[in-house]
């Protein structure tokens, strides 16, 4: 038997050639991923297999002159996973993040992904992963839209014109064929101008308007994507008031957000990407988790910790995909999807990109070894 191991390397342009920006196909892959999640055919980090990943953070001050110190989004993170079903592969996303990167013309986070054979652990592919991560993140709200958005949706509200806003809009366009109007809210004029130009070039059929407040952005919107990053603390999160939301609206939250407690407890139809993810986060970052991690699912799980919300009343998206949810929203009930992000999503989409790359001969084949020195 040959002991030679090679793996495929994909640069970002090569990942694009292999289809990493194909949003409809990515939504399909995420839907299949949720089917695997729903039957338990997956593992992530942690004892219960539901951890988001392992993160390295830095102190506010350090006696070591070369050690990084704390700053906005200053961290390193590893997100490993195995995903079964039609994927049946393992992988890990690894990245460093620092807001100051933008001053150097770089994205806040610089990501790489390794896809591995599930038995030997041998690498199959190493790829640039910023687009991989962005598209799998946007595709999850697209899966939610298939089950939670009105097929007659015409107006989208986008809170946050960055990467998550762009891929969220792409997912809405792919799943809501009657979409005609987009309202976008952002903090910086440059990012708003960039989003507007991109949206008009990519989707010329859409009318795109910049608005000045959350209220203006979400009032009358059929589908809403919240993709902002904010400093920790609920006082900093975008506040979505119930009265501003259209009856029956679908709200996907991939960034930080704030909803009224009474609304979540009594009137909203609450959905999360994986309830196990939030219960694990609640163990890793004890109550009040939401004040540190401002995700909608974390706000829900703080209410669970307080004994106010029955977790059985929160629907897992996988149960909708598998057709086994006992709860369905009323026609006028606002549907909220809390998205935390999981490495099994990266494995799912990377496996499809890898298959395309192999089929089309895209990428560079690199040698790990002919014969391992320490076998």
In this structure, what is the dihedral angle of CA atoms 362, 24, 97, 165, given to the nearest 10 degrees? 140
1 pLDDT band (50/70/90 cuts)? confident
CATH number of the 5-132+344-369 domain:
3.30.1780.10
pLDDT score at 337: 98
Q: Are strands 54-56 and 75-83 parallel, antiparallel or unpaired?
A: antiparallel
What is the DSSP-derived secondary structure letter of residue 370? S
Question: How much is the average pLDDT of 98-113?
Answer: 95
Can you identify the CATH homologous superfamily of domain 139-341? NAD(P)-binding Rossmann-like Domain (3.40.50.720)
Q: Sign (positive/negative) of CA torsion 76, 159, 196, 132?
A: positive
Question: How much is the average pLDDT of 98-123?
Answer: 96
326 pLDDT band (50/70/90 cuts)? confident
pLDDT score at 164: 96
In angstroms, the CA 148 to CA 330 distance is 11
Assigned token pair, 325: 């949810």
230 pLDDT band (50/70/90 cuts)? confident
In angstroms, the CA 262 to CA 278 distance is 20
CA distances from 115 to 9, 34, 91, 354 (A): 10, 19, 4, 8
What is the DSSP-derived secondary structure letter of residue 333? -
Assigned token pair, 364: 């560079």
pTM above 0.75, yes or no: yes
Summarised one tens digit per residue, pLDDT across range 158-168 is: 999 999 999 99
pLDDT over 90 (residue 229): no
Question: How much is the average pLDDT of 109-115?
Answer: 98
317 pLDDT band (50/70/90 cuts)? very high
pLDDT over 90 (residue 227): yes
Determine what percent of the chain is predicted with pLDDT higher than 70: 100
Mean pLDDT (the chain) is: 97
Beta bridge partners of 184: 158, 210
pLDDT score at 100: 94
Question: How much is the average pLDDT of 4-26?
Answer: 98
- CATH 3.40.50.720 residue ranges of the chain are 139-341
Task: Give, in degrees to the nearest 5, the angle at Cα 174 between 169 and 177.
Answer: 105
CA distances from 193 to 161, 208, 243, 279, 310 (A): 9, 11, 29, 39, 43
Q: What are the φ and ψ backbone dihedral angles of 91, each rounded to 5 degrees?
A: -175, 170
In angstroms, the CA 134 to CA 227 distance is 11
Contact call for residues 208 and 196 (beta carbons, < 8 A): yes
Summarised one tens digit per residue, pLDDT across range 239-270 is: 999 999 999 999 999 999 999 999 999 999 99
Determine what percent of the chain is predicted with pLDDT higher than 90: 97
Summarised one tens digit per residue, pLDDT across range 20-50 is: 999 999 999 999 999 999 999 999 999 999 9
- CATH 3.30.1780.10 residue ranges of the chain are 5-132+344-369
């Amino acid at each position: 038997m040959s002991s030679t191991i090679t793996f495929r390397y994909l640069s970002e342009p090569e990942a694009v050639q292999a289809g990493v920006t194909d949003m409809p196909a990515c939504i399909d892959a995420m839907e299949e991923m949720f089917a695997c999640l729903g039957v338990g055919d997956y593992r992530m980090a942690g004892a219960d297999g539901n951890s988001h990943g392992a993160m390295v953070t830095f102190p506010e001050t350090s006696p070591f002159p070369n050690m990084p110190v704390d700053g906005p989004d200053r961290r390193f993170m590893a997100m490993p996973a195995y995903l079964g079903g039609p994927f049946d592969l393992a992988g890990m996303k690894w990245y460093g993040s620092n807001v100051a990167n933008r001053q150097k013309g770089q994205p806040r986070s610089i990501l790489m992904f390794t896809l591995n054979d599930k038995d030997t652990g041998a690498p199959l592919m190493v790829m640039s992963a910023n687009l991989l991560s962005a598209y799998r993140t946007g595709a999850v709200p697209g899966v939610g839209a298939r089950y939670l958005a009105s097929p007659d949706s015409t107006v989208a509200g986008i809170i946050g014109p960055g990467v998550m806003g762009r891929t969220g809009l792409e997912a809405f366009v792919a799943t809501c064929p009657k979409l005609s109007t987009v309202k976008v809210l952002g903090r910086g004029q440059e990012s708003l101008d960039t989003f507007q130009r991109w949206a008009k070039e990519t989707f010329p059929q859409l009318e795109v308007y910049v608005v000045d407040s959350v209220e203006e952005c979400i009032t009358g919107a059929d589908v809403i994507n919240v993709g902002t990053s904010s400093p920790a603390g609920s006082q900093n999160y975008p506040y979505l008031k119930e009265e501003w939301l259209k009856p029956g609206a679908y709200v996907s939250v991939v960034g930080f957000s704030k909803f009224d407690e009474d609304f979540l407890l009594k009137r909203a139809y609450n959905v999360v990407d994986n309830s196990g993810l939030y219960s694990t986060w609640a163990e890793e970052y004890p109550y009040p988790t939401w004040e540190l991690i401002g995700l909608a699912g974390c706000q829900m799980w703080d209410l669970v910790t307080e004994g106010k919300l029955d977790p059985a009343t929160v629907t897992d998206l996988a149960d909708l995909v598998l057709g086994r949810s006992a709860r369905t929203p009323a026609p006028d009930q606002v549907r909220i999807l809390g998205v935390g992000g999981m490495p099994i999503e990266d494995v799912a989409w990377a496996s499809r990109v890898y298959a395309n790359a192999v089929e089309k001969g895209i990428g560079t084949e690199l040698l790990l070894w002919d014969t391992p020195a320490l076998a």
